[in-house]
Amino acid sequence: MTTNHAPLIRLAGIGKVYTTEELETHALVDVDLEIAEGEYVAIAGPSGCGKTTLLSILGLLDTPTSGEYELEGRPVASLSAAERARARNRRIGFVFQAFNLIGELTVAENVELPLVYGGHGAEERKRRIKDALERVGMGHRIKHYPTQLSGGQQQRVAVARAIAGEPAILLADEPTGNLDSENGRQVMDLLAELHRAGSTICMVTHDPRYAEDARRAVHLFDGRMIGEREASAAGVP
Amino acid sequence: MSGFRQDLAFAVRSLLRSPGFATVAILSLGLGIAANTTIFSVSDGFIFRPLPFPDSDRLVEVWLTNPAEGWDEMSLSVVAAEAFKEAPSLQSSAVFTEQGFNLSGTDRPDRVIGARVEHEFFALLGFDALRGRLFAPDEDGPGGARVAVLSERLWERRFGRDPSTVGAQVRLDGVPYTVIGIAPTALKIPSLETDLWIPFIPDSAEMDPATRPLALLARIRPDRTIDDLSPEVEAIASRLGGTHGVYAGLGGRVETLENDMYGPEFHRAIMILMLTVLFVLLIACANLANLLLARATGRQREIAVRAALGAGRGRLARQLLTESVLLAFLGGALGVVLSIWGIDALVSVIPADAPRVDEIALNGRALAYTAFLCVMSGIVFGLAPAIQATRPDLAGSLKEGGARGATTGRARSRLRSALVVAEVALALVLLVCAGIMIKGYRTIYSGDPGFDARGVLTMWIELPELKYADDAAVLGFQERLIDEARQLPGVEEAMLGTGLPQGGSTARPVAIVGRALPPSGQKPMIFTKTITPGYFETFRVPIVEGRALDERDREDGRPVALVNQAFAREHFPDESPVGRMIELEGVTREIVGVAADTRDWGMDEEAPVSGYLPYRQEPSRGMFLALRTPADSARVAPAVQAMVARLDPDQPISAIRTMEQIVDDFASGERIMSQLLGIFAALALILAAVGVYGVMAYSVGQRTHEIGIRAALGAEARDIRRMVLRQGLTIGGIGIAIGLLAAAGATRFLGYFLLGVNPLDPWTFGGVSAVLLATVLVASWIPARRATRVEPTVALRYE
């Protein structure tokens, strides 16, 4: 471990097996990982290595078939579906490769969504929407629909939605995967800026250039952790 | 042509690959088309098809009217009929009157419905004899001949189509008549049940201008219209009033034969039913369009591939339209099969004596109408999905997964929702109309008719003049008949009467002795029945004042009458009528009692001003026999027939029916209408529920990714469930709101069929809205539950 902070996330011996009628696929095998508060961790590896599976387990979207997972010191295996939903809403923010904005909702309504599920009052929601969108530079587009925005702008809105609830950790799944290099760079700069401001970030990427933006990179191959390195890229604290 | 064959073959394969989709679409359309084919067949049999007479639109009937009393169809006297015949716009005309006959001279006595007609009657309707000949000019009128024309039906039923029937003699009411011809089956005038015609030879009583037993059938000249004839008839009626005091204040009216058969309410009922089933079909078609839209979405890539390979938009649309029209024809085939059963079921509940009911059948016209509906349903409701589907984002559809930055297909989703909104609105309109009719029917017919129809058997017995020549003979037979009837096992009470509750009264002018006539100079009317003692016990009608008619009221005694409460209210509002004197057709009678009101004109009409006369003081050859039994009254019918045969082997009895059947038939129009509207409204509700379920299920399927995103962002199961239910209720709510507005207009169109219910009845509107909302909720619940099972990991899936 390379941080002095207490671990926000602790995985021990995590395994994930997908079983079909004819086949048993080991997506993750014996993965150990700790992420401390304030860290910026990249999970890197080629397509099909288990990156997204690991991220979905981290984000409480999926459950491991074996091993232990503690979030902020609490084992998540015992959480009910409703408690997992609440934990996702209050402690975790997601940024997806395909942005995953809802086309029928405006920019502001998309950002508001986790706040509605979190039970925040109207005034509080309004303030947080404004703050989040201004932080990502999209304060002037609040009434637009996603289809009226460029890919880079949509991903900025997705980041605003992820941080609006002030989560403990931001999970980003290939956040530049659907963007050209210029927009991809801008989104990475935005994540770096959030990290500098204190956010904990865990990002999945198969692009080595972006993996270097993170302070620490974990490498997966065929579902196993095969290495870990400290990043030294400029601009990374 | 080979292109069409290819399209058809592909459409068949495509439907076979999607049996669930095809089944729901065909079933939906089948039900909608069956309802339309059934009602079209019934409407066609009744009114769409012209009457089976040449230029039937020029055939009319002429009536007297009494505007002061609100009567618009009064029969004519010989004098009036002869006067109306002189109208310049008439080409030809014939007097006729219906009459029942006891037919004998064959193996058994029979009661048949006949008519006395002038010789022009047959030519007027364009009929020739099937065998023999029809009446010659010298055979009607004073000094005419005793000849008869039989219906083909009677010839077959009673004479086995024996050719020698023509020229043979039959006895009608004991009088010999020579059969001169057989009329074809299609001649059903004056009524469906008319089985023989004899020449009209007026007797001395009928020559009295005050006696009005006749109808006048006429044909308008080809160069004139009914609008030309109407003022002529009015003018003739006015002249009659000047020359004959009994016609003072009366008017004249002309009605086409077709309208006269059915009346405006019947036409309105047919229109309401046609619109109702059209609404049901529209709902079914909206379901079809929704299914096609959903299917087109799933076939985007297939369509894009076809387009990429060079298929033009028109070619693609033709392919999709071939599928929708094929579906419509398969639905139509199912509809035709269902309608065969539907027509049989409907005809079985229509009274057998309804005009032209025997012509109702699934015929070529109905099949052509069905084919038209299929083509229209397939093309019109397949067009929008075809247009949508053939406007693909070619590049996007061919890419793996297509663009997924934000959820897509908003326009298509809106179209689908709009279709369901329309379905819900249409279903609400039908449910409200049905609800109001059913409420009106129940309110009226759950009321007290003033008599007890249960356990009463009725029949008609008419004594022939030749055999029962005078009153003594008539009364002698009737006394024996009633005495024997009361001795029959299982009979508690029996009576004879010229009428029953709900039918058979005679309208007569009445005067209250000691009072001046009204300013109009016209005597008020009273509807009378001539009855034996036992009438009120048989029908359990209470005597509220004075006494009932009994054995004291003999022919040589003081003339008496009994009146009903309506008469008492009308003429003696502040005093008792008992002991007061009235004058009826020259006879002064003492009122000896007051009977409770009975709703003789149906439950939706007030009791008419009525009176009862003792049968000995006003004998009648034709009387109903009614018997009260403790249970199933129909079971005593054979014993009654045997008893009558013992008394007079030549005496037929006819119209054997229970009183409950008579009451039921009296309200059959309203009952059938409310039942049909109820059935079609229920069908509409089911189809609308299928529509809502289809849209919500499809929507959940389409929104799986979005629901996954929401779950990933922390939405709990209840949030997701609430979201889906809210969407369903929004669609349903908009549909209900629009439907309520439309229903507020539609119920006014029900007119008579409102049956006294407020067209904006809040209970019906509120109740139906609640039922529909609950249906929408149930239809949305299953998709909502399915939505809560969406895994949040789908948010991470890019494909």
Instruction: Give tens-digit pLDDT for B679-690.
Output: 998 998 898 888
pLDDT reading at B521 higher than 70: no
Report residue B614 as tokens. 């003792």
Task: Work out the pLDDT band at A1, boundaries 50, 70, 90.
Answer: very low
Which of A92, A100, A120, A155 has the most B C-beta neighbours within 10 Å, making it the best mutation to test the interface with B?
A100
Instruction: Provide the shortest C-alpha distance from residue A202 to chain B (in Å).
Output: 15
Instruction: Give tens-digit pLDDT for B128-152.
Output: 888 999 898 888 877 778 999 999 9
Residue among B407, B713, B796 minimizing CB distance to A117? B713
pLDDT reading at B14 higher than 50: yes
Q: What is the pTM of this model?
A: 0.73
Interchain proximity B406–A147, CB inside 8 Å: yes
Which of B393, B713, B727, B793 has the most A C-beta neighbours within 10 Å, making it the best mutation to test the interface with A?
B713
CB-based contact, B790 to chain A, within 8 Å: no
Contacts of B709 in chain A (CB under 8 A): 96, 100, 102
DSSP H or E run through B473: helix B471-487
Instruction: Give tens-digit pLDDT for B51-88.
Output: 778 888 899 999 989 887 777 888 888 888 999 999 99
DSSP H or E run through B324: helix B313-349
Q: Looking at chain B, which residue has its C-alpha nearest residue A87?
A: B714
Interchain proximity A94–B798, CB inside 8 Å: no
Range with the poorest average pLDDT among A194-198, B45-49, B606-610: B45-49
Task: Work out the pLDDT band at A2, boundaries 50, 70, 90.
Answer: very low
Instruction: Give tens-digit pLDDT for A76-135.
Output: 998 988 898 899 999 999 998 888 888 878 999 999 989 988 889 999 999 999 999 998
CA distance B334 to B22: 13
Instruction: Provide the shortest C-alpha distance from residue B713 to chain A (in Å).
Output: 5
Q: What is the pLDDT of residue B766?
A: 95
Residues B139, B147: contact at Cβ < 8 Å? yes
Interchain proximity A88–B793, CB inside 8 Å: no
pLDDT reading at B326 higher than 60: yes
Interchain proximity B712–A61, CB inside 8 Å: yes
pLDDT reading at A177 higher than 80: yes
pLDDT reading at A4 higher than 50: no
Q: What is the mean pLDDT of residues B705-710?
A: 88
Range with the poorest average pLDDT among B109-113, B207-211, B571-575, B759-763: B207-211
Instruction: Give tens-digit pLDDT for B230-259.
Output: 999 999 999 988 887 778 888 899 998 888
The Cα angle at residue B124 between residues B246 and B260, in degrees rounded to 5: 55
What share of chain B has pLDDT > 70, as a percent?
95
What count of CB pairs under 8 Å joins A to B?
Answer: 87
Contacts of A56 in chain B (CB under 8 A): 793, 796
Interchain proximity B410–A82, CB inside 8 Å: no
CB-based contact, B798 to chain A, within 8 Å: yes
Q: What is the pLDDT of residue A183?
A: 86
CB-based contact, B406 to chain A, within 8 Å: yes
pLDDT reading at A237 higher than 60: no
Instruction: Give the closest residue to B420 by CA, choosing from B682, B692, B684.
Output: B692
pLDDT reading at B399 higher than 50: no
Helix (H, G, I), strand (E, B) or coil at A50: coil
Q: Which residues contact B151 (CB under 8 A, 6 or more apart)?
A: B182, B183, B185, B187, B194, B195, B196
Task: Work out the pLDDT band at B106, boundaries 50, 70, 90.
Answer: low
Residue B292 has phi, psi (to 5 degrees) of: -65, -40
Q: What is the pLDDT of residue B798?
A: 55
Instruction: Provide the shortest C-alpha distance from residue B797 to chain A (in Å).
Output: 9
Residue among B715, B793, B795 minimizing CB distance to A117? B715
Q: What is the pLDDT of residue B406?
A: 45
Instruction: Give tens-digit pLDDT for B486-517.
Output: 999 989 999 999 999 987 788 888 889 888 77
DSSP E strand boundaries for A52-200: 66-71, 74-75, 92-95, 169-173
What DSSP letter does each residue of B205-246 carry, written as one string? GGGSTT---BEEEEEE-TT--HHHHHHHHHHHHHHHHHH-GG
**A interface with B, Cβ–Cβ below 8 Å:** 52, 55-56, 59, 61-62, 81-82, 85-86, 88-90, 94, 96-104, 113-114, 117-118, 145-147, 151, 154, 161, 165, 173, 177-178
**DSSP at B589:** E
Task: Work out the pLDDT band at A232, boundaries 50, 70, 90.
Answer: low
Instruction: Provide the shortest C-alpha distance from residue B690 to chain A (in Å).
Output: 25
State which amino acid sits at residue B669.
G
Interchain proximity A154–B791, CB inside 8 Å: no
Instruction: Give tens-digit pLDDT for B344-366.
Output: 998 888 877 777 777 788 889 99
Task: Work out the pLDDT band at B408, boundaries 50, 70, 90.
Answer: very low
Q: What is the pLDDT of residue B407?
A: 43
Instruction: Provide the shortest C-alpha distance from residue B422 to chain A (in Å).
Output: 22
Residue B441: is it exposed, middle or buried by C-beta count within 10 angstroms (0-12/13-18/19+)? buried
pLDDT reading at B227 higher than 90: yes
Q: Looking at chain B, which residue has its C-alpha nearest residue A56?
A: B793
Q: Looking at chain A, which residue has its C-alpha nearest residue B703?
A: A102
Instruction: Give tens-digit pLDDT for B419-460.
Output: 889 989 999 998 998 888 888 887 777 778 899 999 999 999
- The CA-atom distances, in angstroms, between B100 and each of A197, B103, B319 are 107, 9, 65
- The CA-atom distances, in angstroms, between B158 and each of B130, B155, B192, B752 are 17, 6, 17, 42
Sign of torsion over alpha carbons B214, B219, B220, B225 = positive
Q: Looking at chain A, which residue has its C-alpha nearest residue B790?
A: A61
Interchain proximity A113–B713, CB inside 8 Å: yes
* Higher pLDDT pick, B799 / A165: A165
Task: Work out the pLDDT band at B402, boundaries 50, 70, 90.
Answer: very low
Q: What is the pLDDT of residue B520?
A: 59
What separation, in Å, do the N-terminal and C-terminal C-alpha atoms of chain A show? Answer: 16
Contacts of B406 in chain A (CB under 8 A): 99, 101-103, 145-147, 154
What separation, in Å, do the N-terminal and C-terminal C-alpha atoms of chain B show? Answer: 41
Q: What is the pLDDT of residue A234?
A: 38
Instruction: Provide the shortest C-alpha distance from residue B777 to chain A (in Å).
Output: 23
Contacts of A145 in chain B (CB under 8 A): 406
Residues B60, B242: contact at Cβ < 8 Å? no
Count the neighbouring beta carbons within 10 Å of the beta carbon of residue B239: 14
Q: What is the pLDDT of residue B769?
A: 95
CA distance B697 to B185: 57
pLDDT reading at A48 higher than 70: yes
Interchain proximity A117–B404, CB inside 8 Å: no
Q: How confident is the prediction for chain B on average, in pLDDT?
A: 86
Q: In chain B, positions 712-731, which contact chain A (CB-CB < 8 Å)?
A: 712-717, 719
- The CA-atom distances, in angstroms, between A188 and each of A116, A130, A203, B475 are 28, 21, 10, 115
Contacts of A82 in chain B (CB under 8 A): 716-717
Q: What is the mean pLDDT of residues B84-110?
A: 85
Instruction: Give tens-digit pLDDT for B475-488.
Output: 999 999 999 999 99
CA distance B121 to B128: 11
Instruction: Provide the shortest C-alpha distance from residue B357 to chain A (in Å).
Output: 57
What DSSP letter does each residue of B171-194 carry, written as one string? EETTEEEEEEEEE-TT---S-TTE
Q: What is the pLDDT of residue B405?
A: 43
3-class SS letters over B651-678: CCCEEEEEHHHHHHHHCHHHHHHHHHHH
